[in-house]
Amino acid sequence: MIKFENSFHKLNTDFYENVIPSKPPKPELISFNKSLSNLLGIKISWIESIEGLECFTGKQVIRNSNPLAMVYAGHQFGNWVPRLGDGRAILLGEILDQNNERWDIQLKGSGLTPFSRNGDGKAALGPVLREYLMSEAMYQLGIPTTLALFIAKTGENVYREKVFPGAIITRVAKSHIRVGTFQYFASLGKYNLVKELMDYVIKRNFPEITNNQNKYLSFLKFVIDAQAKLISKWMSVGFIHGVMNTDNCSIVGDTIDYGPCAFMDKYNENTVFSSIDTFGRYSYKNQPLICQWNLAQLANCILPFLSDEKEKSIKIAQNEIDKYSEVYQNYFSKEIFKKLGFSSKIENDNKLKNELFEIMKRDELDFTISFSNLYFELLNIDNNLSKFTGNSRDFTKWISKWKLRLKKEKKSVNQIAENLKQSNPIIIPRNHLVEEAINFALENDNFSKYFNLLKLVSDPFKYKERYINYYKPPDVLDENFRTFCGT
């Protein structure tokens, strides 16, 4: 049995609508995340029980759960949408884990809510499998993210461009509040609710600033910091979120709303995968800037709390938003230096880093392998992946310079090599692998390939020769590969 808490439900009722999940005709478990269940203190025997299945598919609303759909607004591709909200997601409640950390437990794909607009509130199996796999991969890569606890088929069909099996994913998050949640209330002039929301986030997620003199300015600084850190981590693994609308921008700095996201194979800073991102607004290279734009929207919502005078508030907010670029650059450089095995920055490190990216760009090197190969290069180990960078003479030259730089480290070569291994994933969920695994599951109702890939991306820093095919880019890279929103 699990015991839900409902701190969000206790807030002003303007924040949500009470909803009952639709009852799926024939729920069937596909998989659940054992270590996450353990973290949350949910007994495995319960999660595997009928009650567990019914709870996480919405068939049964268990005691203490107060299901609700949250309201929010947002800028979608820069266009203001005054009301969005959870159109296919329902918050069941919260769980306190063993460390007293509070986690939202939310169903995604559990039917209509007052915010469903033209949608059906349901989710198709493909996107559910994708989110379960991608969020686990991100988590194991050490990137802040919402988590996925449970995936199940519903036993009914959903209708998209084709008919697909319906499915539900149980999402777990430190918060589901978005920049768009603040925008919704600020746009209506309901600043008492903006304040209530901010106080809630501070109490729950940023308790260390509760007693700060200007805690709302601290709040803004915290969100900026968390977002800058998050984006720097995306950029350091070649992750492209694909739909960085303000409603998909988590207030606590987690990766949220896995839709058309994907990892790039060969390095091209203009890469876009999402089929609807026609103008490349959310391309790889634009992500840091878009993040700043989103943060400016947040700052705008909380202006009345930054000072008593409007002009002064704007100045304060602008100052914080201007500082973002530096905060981001610092985080990004740190991420990359870690990947290069530098324990701290010394003269010319930035130049060396920029040169590497230039070479990766010019010679269209594989992003992941350019970094994972460093371990093998340092130890002079020949391996099957080096051919993906070995043809680049500039890369080879760069390696010599990099090795010279490493001589300035106060560590043994083996220690540096170990650090390189821990900082550069050998496997990421490459598009061709994810597509193949999911299509195979959909076409054959057989999840073996999917589970195999899931297992490998769940241990992204471990090299095993026999899995070499999973580490390589596809033989022929599909330059037109496109992803779709998870609807």
**Out of 52, 57, 86, 220, which residue is the one contacting ligand AMP (CB under 6 A)?**
86
Distance CA 427, CA 267 (A): 16
Residue nearest to ligand AMP (CB): 119
Tell me the backbone φ, ψ of residue 147, rounded to 5 degrees: -115, 170
**Out of 52, 238, 242, 259, which residue is the one contacting ligand AMP (CB under 6 A)?**
259
User: Which candidate, 10, 15, 141, 6, places its Cα nearest to that of 72?
Assistant: 15
Helix (H) or strand (E) holding 290: helix 287-301
> What is the x/- site pattern for Mg ion, positions 254-293, by CB under 5 A?
---x------------------------------------
Of 120 and 394, the one with the shorter C-beta distance to ligand AMP is 120
Structural contact between residues 421 and 341, judged by C-beta atoms closer than 8 angstroms: no
Residues 230-249 that bind ligand AMP (CB under 6 A): 243, 247-248
Of 124 and 420, the one with the shorter C-beta distance to ligand AMP is 124
Point out which span in 83-91, 181-189, 276-284, 435-443 binds ligand AMP (CB under 6 A).
Answer: 83-91
Structural contact between residues 33 and 117, judged by C-beta atoms closer than 8 angstroms: no
Q: What is the DSSP letter of 262?
A: E
- Tell the residue number behind the tokens 């992946």, with chain if given: 385
| Helix count and strand count (H, E) for the chain | 17, 12
Of 248 and 297, the one with the shorter C-beta distance to Mg ion is 248
**Out of 97, 120, 409, 459, which residue is the one contacting ligand AMP (CB under 6 A)?**
120
Using the rule CB under 6 A, is 485 a contact of ligand AMP?
Answer: yes
**183 binds, options ligand AMP, Mg ion, none, Cβ within 5 to 8 A by partner type:** none
Of 88 and 421, the one with the shorter C-beta distance to ligand AMP is 88
**366 binds, options Mg ion, ligand AMP, none, Cβ within 5 to 8 A by partner type:** none
Of 94 and 257, the one with the shorter C-beta distance to Mg ion is 257
Of 257 and 277, the one with the shorter C-beta distance to Mg ion is 257
**120 binds, options ligand AMP, Mg ion, none, Cβ within 5 to 8 A by partner type:** ligand AMP
Length of the chain (residues): 487
Give the torsion through C-alpha atoms of 271, 274, 276, 281, to 10 deg.
-40
- C-beta contacts of 214-221 below 8 A and 24+ residues apart: 214/306, 216/302, 216/305, 216/306, 217/306, 217/316, 217/320, 219/302, 220/298, 220/299, 220/302, 220/306, 220/317, 220/320, 221/320
**Out of 88, 233, 430, 472, which residue is the one contacting ligand AMP (CB under 6 A)?**
88
Identity of the amino acid at 201: V
Of 125 and 217, the one with the shorter C-beta distance to ligand AMP is 125
Look at strands 163-173 and 123-124 and give their pairing: antiparallel
**Out of 94, 257, 265, 320, which residue is the one contacting ligand AMP (CB under 6 A)?**
257
**Out of 248, 271, 370, 392, which residue is the one contacting Mg ion (CB under 5 A)?**
248
Tell me the backbone φ, ψ of residue 177, rounded to 5 degrees: -80, 135
Tell me the backbone φ, ψ of residue 149, rounded to 5 degrees: -95, -40
Which residues are tagged catalytic? 247
* Tokens (6 digits) for 423: 């900082």
Structural contact between residues 141 and 255, judged by C-beta atoms closer than 8 angstroms: no
**Shortest distance in whole angstroms from residue 262 CB to Mg ion:** 17
Give Cβ neighbours of residue 59 (< 8 Å, ≥ 6 apart).
21, 23, 24, 27, 53
Count of positions on this chain that bind Mg ion (CB under 5 A): 2
Of 125 and 374, the one with the shorter C-beta distance to ligand AMP is 125
Cα distances (Å, whole numbers) of residue 52 to 40, 152, 340: 14, 11, 45
Q: What is the DSSP letter of 209?
A: G
**Out of 24, 93, 121, 253, which residue is the one contacting ligand AMP (CB under 6 A)?**
121
**Shortest distance in whole angstroms from residue 116 CB to ligand AMP:** 4
Residues 176-235 that bind ligand AMP (CB under 6 A): none
Count of positions on this chain that bind ligand AMP (CB under 6 A): 18
Point out which span in 84-92, 94-102, 362-370, 396-404 binds ligand AMP (CB under 6 A).
Answer: 84-92
Q: What is the DSSP letter of 473?
A: P
**87 binds, options ligand AMP, Mg ion, none, Cβ within 5 to 8 A by partner type:** ligand AMP
Give Cβ neighbours of residue 333 (< 8 Å, ≥ 6 apart).
345, 349, 350, 353
Q: Which residues bind ligand AMP (CB under 6 A)?
A: 84-88, 115-116, 119-122, 243, 247-248, 257, 259, 485, 487
